[in-house]
Each structure stands twice: as structure tokens, then as C-alpha cells.
């Protein structure tokens, strides 16, 4: 239990100034003034809390007397006599006073409890025995453990101030006549000094990425002054570096103009309080002869004035604008929502396959603003949104897993797995028959061609070239040739990935007649008749059966004559009687 120490201070304290018209009142002051005090069970903390009561315009009137009453109530019960602590001066106050309470009482305070201090000014008229309250004031507070303040949200680092010593026009102007004039750098045309200033209140680390513009072979820009990356810049300090144009030996520089892009990424080791930032700096340059002016060309850059990397000299926007990041909202629950990717299925061995993914439409991208994509192919990792991978063998079972992973800027990783089929690469072959009797009278013979495609990615398309100027896109067909000869037949098979395979075969459409002989005129003295097995035709009431044995030496026209004669004989034989026709019955039609 603790004891209140009450001290009455009179003439030693400065008195408030009050007019005669002001009514008596009191003023309560608490030091320190808080809404919650961690004083339960701690005597020293209780004594460090002071309550000061100032009486105002208590003028010592002989007719009236005053006293101050102090009470502490639990749960803000500011009325009644059931105070936890009750203190009354029990004095008749005849002068303005300042009443201090060192410590807040002999009560044993309870954590997680609300309290009220009630201070009343009471007055007793000269002709009365009782005091009545004429003014009161209260102070509400709680007792409990004061929570640790929440960690502040990290603050984005301010981008570094970038400055280069340029010409009056804000452009790095170089003259070709100056080549070789620098003793220490005989192959350098020009050098400028640049600096980066850290205006942040903390040290930062940074990386520079330098995009070297395209110049003539042997010439190029060089950035020197940093021994290693990343480099640290203390708060409110500056680091410098040089930028030079080396023309090579002999000079390969020529009149031109353009711009150099330097990206500066900064970050702090104190990631709790600071977040990284990135800015892009543009340096315009010209290379010209003395006393000549180059007509300005197209200068690409950010043309939005509200962007951090706004380039006032740009004449064409290159979509490189970088804008301040808005306050970060709570991370989304579905980082990969709207993640799109293309995984070809099936793929073929020894055939490059393209795998692509787009993370820019996901909730994770909109929240973090950056992500890296990697692909896993049976232990092989390839980085990038669009990659090419070639399988060199068919996996066991013919299938394999492709894993695509996304790592956002805060290190959060999400992966998705897809099973695909790996088949053989695109192959095929040509099937063909022997020489067939033509169906068109003017043609000399036909071949049945059949294309078979294997592996690759269906559907397939086919393109035949028959060596006589004609083509076809059918997979299976009978093609008839108009003339005798040897033909180179080619077939191109194309699959859905536009992979192709080229096949070739050679066919001979051969005339069985001796070369140079008219097939309709046969010199019987010089040409021996082939041995022909006699054939017969039987006509019955149910139909006609014609058996013909033709020699391979008969020409097409001779065969047609034989068949016409056979049909005529059968017609003459009649349909009701069975008659057998022999070779002699067609003797007149062999020529």
C-alpha cells in the first residue's frame, strides 16, 4: 500500500491573475498526461505520476470558506461516496493555492481497469454549516501494460541525385577534332565527370547498370570510378565517377548523336524501415565536326512529367517511365491469379520447344511490381519468361513434368507443375504400289502412293510433287502418269509446329513394247509372240464370267482391243446357253 504525499504551496508559487468578476474554480494538471499508466505493483512508477490542483480566485473572503476534495473512482463512477481513494484538505482555504499529489494513492491498482480522478471545489457560506460543490473537474485513465508501439511502415528511399558536368545545352558535346588530345587517354574523344548524392538519412547500397548505345565497331562508352559493385554511399555524401568515349585506335568515332541510359538501384541494409528504389538517368550526347551542327535525331525516353525518370529532351516515348509506388496494400491471397503460360504438349525429341509465361497480369505482379520466372525440366533450370528447351530422349513412360516457378520481389515463391508427353521427332515414309492400269484413257499407268507421318505434333499436312509439274495435298492417292518415263516423286510432311520432313522416291513408268515400235503395228517377223495361256469365257443365265490372261507385252491399246472383242463374243454367245470360248475365237482381234 502506498501513501499520498500532499504538499500545500502558498506564497512561494506564482498566483494566477483573476478579476473580481471571476468565480472561484480549480484546474487539474497531470504529469505525465497519458491515457494509460503501467503502475500496477510498481511504487516508483506511481510516485513519478504527479497531480497538481490549482485553485483560482479563492480570494480569502471572510464571508465564505473553501476546501478541495479529491476522489478516485473505478470504471469512471464519478458520483457518489464509494470512492477507492478519498482525500479532502479539511482546511478552510483562504488563499489561492497549488496542491500537489506526489504519487496517485494508497490504492492497489489493477491492470486492465479504468479509473477516474474527481477533483471538487467546495464552498461554505458564512451563515451555513455545510459545504456545497461549486466546481469540479475529472481526469480519466487506465491502468495496464503499455503495448509496444507497432513497427512503422518502411519508407521508400529517396532516389540518388544524379549530376554530370555537361555543356550549356545540357548535352555532352564532343568534337571529332579533339581525338588524341588527352595525353593519358590518347584513344578517348571525351570525358565527363558525374556524381551520385545520397540525400537519405541512412547509408545506402546501390547497383548501376549501364546500357551502352550502338556505335561504330571499335568505339564505345566506358564508366569508370567504381572498383566493385555494389558500393555504399553514406548518408548526405557524394560519390563520383567518370564517363568516357573510347574511339579505339585508329579512331572509329563518327558524327552522330544519341543517349546513354544508366539505371540506379538503391537499397538499405535496414529493410525494416526502408524499401528499395530504382531510377533511370539519361545522358544525351553529340559527336560532330568543329563548326558543324548535327540535326537532332529521335531521342527516346520517358515523356511523362510526373514520372521519376522524365526526360525533358525526349522526342519519342519509349514506355520506360517509372512512377512512384503507391502505398503498399495488404498482399493478395492469390498471387498467381491470372497467371498465363503456354506449355506445348506433346513435344518431340531433338526438336526445340518454346515455353512461355506471362506474370504481368497476376495479382502478385500488381502488388509487388516485379517477379522472376524459372522453368524446371528434369533437373535443368532455365530462367526467363520465354525459354527454349530440347529433349534428347523419350522419358520412361513417355511423359515428364515441367515446373514453372515465380519468385516475387519479397522472396515469395509459387510453382505450378504440368505433365507433358515427349514423343519421337517428326519422321515419315512413302508407301507405293506397283504399276496399276490407268483409269483415264489418255494416261499410261498409275501408282498408289501412301504417306505415313510419325512423331512431331499432329495434325499433319502433306505436299506431293510428282516430277511432272503436278502436285497433291492428299495423304493417300492413286496418281496416273500421262507419259512413260522415270519420275522423282517428293513429299514434304509438315506438323502443327511447322516442323518439316522431306522424303523422296523414284518411280519408272515403263512401256513394255520395244523402244521405237508403234504399239499398234507389230513386226511379227522380228517380234516373237509371247506364250499365252488360252483363256475362256463362260456365259450363263446368271451373268457372264470373263477370264482373260494378258501378256505383259501387250500395249494398252492392244489390251483394249482384246477386251472389246471378248465382250462382243460373249454377247454373241447368248444369255441362255452355256458356251466356252477359246483363244481361236479371238484370233482376229490380237493385232
Domain presence at residue 529? no
Domain presence at residue 500? yes
64 band by pLDDT with thresholds 50, 70 and 90: confident
Provide the pLDDT for residue 227.
Answer: 52
Domain count, the chain: 5
Question: Whole-angstrom Cα distance, residue 168 to residue 282?
Answer: 16
Q: Which of 458, 493, 509 is the last residue of a domain?
A: 509
State which residues form the domain around 473. Answer: 427-509
Spell out the residues 6+ positions from residue 13 whose beta carbon is closer than 8 angstroms to its own.
98
365 band by pLDDT with thresholds 50, 70 and 90: confident
Q: Is the dihedral of CA 52, 53, 55, 56 positive or negative?
A: positive
Q: Has residue 516 got a pLDDT over 80?
A: no
272 & 414 share domain: no
Burial 450-460 (b: 16+ CB within 10 A, else e): ebebebbbeeb
545 & 431 share domain: no
Nearest to 223 by CA among 194, 198, 247: 194
What CATH number corresponds to the domain at position 492? Answer: 2.60.40.10
- Is the bond into 245 cis (omega within 30 degrees of 0)? no
416 & 431 share domain: no
Q: Is the dihedral of CA 154, 155, 156, 158 positive or negative?
A: negative
Domain presence at residue 518? no
410 & 432 share domain: no
139 & 24 share domain: yes
132 & 79 share domain: yes
Q: Which residue has the higher pLDDT, 128 or 358?
A: 358
172 & 293 share domain: yes
Q: 148 pairs with which residues across the strands?
A: none
Question: Whole-angstrom Cα distance, residue 274 to residue 386?
Answer: 33
298 & 411 share domain: no
Domain presence at residue 524? no
51 & 133 share domain: yes
160 & 285 share domain: yes
Q: Has residue 133 got a pLDDT over 50?
A: yes
179 & 267 share domain: yes
Q: 257 pairs with which residues across the strands?
A: 286
Domain presence at residue 237? yes
Q: Which residue has the cell 564505345?
A: 220
Range with the poorest average pLDDT among 17-31, 77-91, 104-118, 300-314: 77-91
Q: Is 229 exposed, middle or buried (0-12, 13-18, 19+ CB in 10 A)?
A: exposed
Alpha carbon distances (Å) from 506 to 35, 468, 503: 101, 12, 11
44 & 181 share domain: no
- pLDDT, tens digit, for every residue of 527-567? 334 443 343 333 333 333 444 444 334 445 555 555 555 55
Q: Which of 261, 283, 317 is the last residue of a domain?
A: 317
By percentage, how much of the chain surpasses pLDDT 70? Answer: 74
Domain presence at residue 528? no
Domain presence at residue 243? yes
Range with the poorest average pLDDT among 186-200, 208-222, 416-430, 555-569: 555-569
Q: Which of 389, 420, 451 is the last residue of a domain?
A: 420
Q: Which residue has the cell 458356251?
A: 579
Helix and strand tally (H, E) in the chain? Answer: 3, 39
Domain presence at residue 326? no
Nearest to 349 by CA among 400, 405, 418, 404: 400
Amino acid at each position: 500500500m502506498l501513501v499520498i504525499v500532499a504538499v500545500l504551496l502558498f506564497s512561494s508559487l506564482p498566483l494566477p491573475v483573476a478579476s473580481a468578476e471571476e468565480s472561484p474554480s480549480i484546474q487539474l494538471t497531470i504529469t505525465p498526461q497519458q491515457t494509460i499508466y503501467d503502475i500496477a505493483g510498481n511504487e516508483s512508477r506511481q510516485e513519478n505520476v504527479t497531480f497538481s490542483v490549482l485553485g483560482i480566485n479563492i480570494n480569502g473572503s471572510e464571508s465564505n470558506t473553501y476546501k478541495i476534495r479529491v476522489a478516485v473512482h473505478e470504471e469512471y463512477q464519478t458520483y457518489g461516496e464509494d470512492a477507492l481513494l478519498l482525500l479532502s484538505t479539511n482546511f478552510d482555504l483562504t488563499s489561492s493555492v497549488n496542491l500537489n499529489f506526489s504519487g496517485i494513492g494508497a490504492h492497489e491498482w489493477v491492470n486492465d481497469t479504468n479509473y477516474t480522478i474527481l477533483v471538487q471545489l467546495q464552498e461554505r457560506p458564512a451563515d451555513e454549516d455545510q459545504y456545497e460543490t461549486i466546481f469540479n473537474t475529472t481526469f480519466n485513465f487506465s491502468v495496464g501494460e503499455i503495448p509496444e508501439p507497432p513497427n512503422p511502415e518502411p519508407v521508400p528511399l529517396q532516389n540518388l541525385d544524379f549530376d554530370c558536368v555537361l555543356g550549356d545545352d545540357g548535352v555532352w558535346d564532343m568534337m571529332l577534332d579533339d581525338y588524341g588530345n588527352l595525353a593519358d587517354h590518347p584513344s578517348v574523344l571525351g570525358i565527363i565527370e558525374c556524381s551520385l548524392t545520397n540525400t537519405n538519412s541512412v547509408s545506402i547500397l546501390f547497383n548501376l547498370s549501364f546500357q551502352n548505345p550502338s556505335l561504330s565497331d571499335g568505339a564505345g562508352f566506358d564508366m569508370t570510378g567504381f572498383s566493385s559493385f555494389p558500393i555504399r554511399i553514406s548518408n548526405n555524401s557524394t560519390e563520383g565517377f567518370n564517363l568516357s568515349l573510347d574511339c579505339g585506335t585508329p579512331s572509329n568515332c563518327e558524327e552522330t548523336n544519341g543517349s546513354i541510359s544508366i539505371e540506379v538501384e538503391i537499397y538499405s541494409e535496414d529493410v525494416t524501415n526502408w524499401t528499395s528504389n530504382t531510377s533511370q538517368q539519361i545522358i544525351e550526347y553529340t559527336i560532330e565536326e568543329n563548326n558543324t551542327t548535327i540535326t537532332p535525331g529521335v531521342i527516346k525516353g520517358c515523356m511523362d512529367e510526373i514520372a521519376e525518370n522524365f526526360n525533358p529532351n525526349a522526342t519519342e516515348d519509349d514506355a520506360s517511365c517509372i512512377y512512384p509506388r503507391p502505398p503498399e496494400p495488404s498482399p493478395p491471397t492469390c498471387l498467381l491469379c491470372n497467371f498465363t503460360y503456354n506449355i506445348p504438349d506433346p513435344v518431340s525429341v531433338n526438336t526445340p520447344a518454346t515455353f512461355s509465361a506471362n506474370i504481368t497480369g497476376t495479382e502478385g505482379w500488381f502488388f509487388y511490381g516485379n517477379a522472376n520466372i524459372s522453368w524446371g525440366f528434369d533437373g535443368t533450370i532455365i530462367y526467363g519468361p520465354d525459354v527454349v528447351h530440347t529433349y534428347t530422349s523419350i522419358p520412361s513412360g513417355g511423359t515428364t513434368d515441367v515446373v514453372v516457378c515465380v519468385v516475387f520481389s519479397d522472396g515469395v515463391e509459387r510453382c505450378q507443375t504440368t505433365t507433358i508427353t515427349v514423343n519421337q521427332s517428326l519422321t515419315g515414309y512413302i508407301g507405293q504400289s506397283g504399276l496399276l492400269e490407268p483409269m483415264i484413257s489418255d494416261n499410261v499407268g498409275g501408282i498408289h502412293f501412301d504417306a505415313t507421318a510419325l512423331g512431331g505434333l499432329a495434325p499433319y499436312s502433306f505436299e506431293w510433287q510428282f516430277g511432272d509439274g503436278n502436285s497433291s495435298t492428299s495423304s493417300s492417292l492413286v496418281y496416273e502418269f500421262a507419259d512413260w518415263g522415270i519420275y522423282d516423286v517428293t513429299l514434304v510432311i509438315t506438323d502443327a509446329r511447322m516442323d518439316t520432313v522431306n522424303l523422296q522416291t523414284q518411280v519408272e513408268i515403263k512401256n513394255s513394247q520395244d523402244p521405237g515400235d508403234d504399239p499398234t503395228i507389230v513386226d511379227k517377223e522380228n517380234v516373237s509372240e509371247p506364250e499365252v495361256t488360252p483363256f475362256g469365257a463362260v456365259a450363263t443365265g446368271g451373268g457372264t464370267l470373263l477370264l482373260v490372261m494378258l501378256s505383259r507385252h501387250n500395249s494398252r491399246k492392244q489390251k483394249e482391243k482384246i477386251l472389246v472383242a471378248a465382250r462382243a463374243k460373249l454377247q454373241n454367245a447368248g444369255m441362255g446357253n452355256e458356251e466356252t470360248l477359246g483363244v481361236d475365237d479371238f484370233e482376229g482381234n490380237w493385232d
